[in-house]
Amino acid sequence: MLKYKLTIEYDGTSYRGWQTQLNARSIQGTLIEAAKKILGPGIELQGAGRTDAGVHALAQVAHIATDRKMRPQSLLEGLNDLLPANINVKKIEEAPADFHARHHARMRSYLYIISKHRTAFGKRYVWWIKDRLDMNRMRDVIELFRGFHDFASFADKRFDKGASTLVKLHSVEMHEIGDLIVVRIVASHFLWKMVRRMVGIMVEAGRSNLFPPDIKRMLASKSEIPAKFTAPPSGLFLEQVLYEGDAPRPIKLPPLPLLFGK
C-alpha cells in the first residue's frame, strides 16, 4: 500500500466532528467519499485527532493508504475539486509505508479564541464574552494547569473507560491580540472536551467566580464543576500536529479579519 500525508483545514460548524458516524455528516466521512471517487474503494483514511462537533482545524493531519499511485499535487487538486468549500486540503506529500497520522504524532496544539466584542460575522469562530475578565486571575489558573496532572475532572464522562486521564501539558499560554484573547495549549494528547473545560474554568476565574484553591481541588480529585462551564466549540481550533523534528510555530490566527472589527 502507498501512503500519502494530508494537511487539512476545515470549518467544523456544520459537521458532527471529525470521526465518521452513522447517519451524521463528518469531516472524515466527507474526505473518504471524495478520495474513493479518485482512488477507488479500497482506501484507508485516518486522522491525527478526533475533533468534536463544531470544532475547527487549521492543520489537521491525516493519511491515505491506497494501491493507486498519483502525483501528490494531482491528488490534492482532485480532492479539492470534490470537497465542499468548508474543507480544504492544504498539502499532500508522499509518506513512508509505515506512517500513521495518529500513532506517530508526538504533540498536538489547540487554539481557543475568545472575543471581547459581539460579532455577527465571527460568531461561529469565537466565544463572545461580554463580562470584563481579569487577565491576571486567568494567568494564575494557567500556571496551575502547566505540567503533568490528572485531568479526570476535565474529561467527558463518555471518555473511554479504563483509559488514563494523566496528561502532560508542554505549554499553556494566553495572549491578547486586539479584541481577542487567544489561549494556546500544547500536549502529547487531549481528553474529550478537556480544552473547552479548561478554558471555561479560566473564564470563571477571570470573572472572579473561581480561585486557585478551587482549581487545585479539581486537579487533585474528580469534580463535576468543569462540566458546568464547558466553553462552546465555536472558538476551538486544532492548530498543529507535531511529529518527530517538528517544533510549535508562532501563533497564527485563522484568516478571519472580520473578527477584529467593532
Summarised one tens digit per residue, pLDDT across range 237-247 is: 999 999 998 98
Residue pointed to by grid coordinates 459581539:
118
Predicted confidence (pLDDT) per residue in 93-133, tens digit:
999 999 999 999 999 999 999 999 888 888 899 999 999 99
Concerning whether 52 is annotated as a catalytic residue, the answer is: yes
Strand 107-115, strand 180-187: pairing: antiparallel
Closest CA relative to residue 254, chosen from 233, 239, 232, 234: 239
Residue 262 is predicted with a pLDDT of 44
Domains of the chain, with CATH numbers? 2-95 (3.30.70.580), 107-243 (3.30.70.660)
Render the burial of 165-176: b for 16+ CB within 10 Å, e for the rest: bebebbebebee
Distance, in Å, from the CA atom of 28 to the CA atom of 19, rounded to the nearest integer, reads 6
Predicted confidence (pLDDT) per residue in 188-222, tens digit:
999 999 999 999 999 999 999 999 999 999 999 99
Predicted confidence (pLDDT) per residue in 165-187, tens digit:
999 999 999 999 888 999 999 99
Estimate to the nearest angstrom the gap between the alpha carbon of 43 and the chain centroid.
Answer: 25
Q: Over the chain, what is the mean pLDDT? A: 92
Residue 161 is predicted with a pLDDT of 64
Residue 40 is predicted with a pLDDT of 94
Residue 261 has pLDDT above 80, yes or no: no
Q: Which candidate in 11, 52, 156, 160 is catalytic?
A: 52
Task: Kindly indicate the confidence band of residue 22, based on its pLDDT and cuts at 50, 70 and 90.
Answer: confident
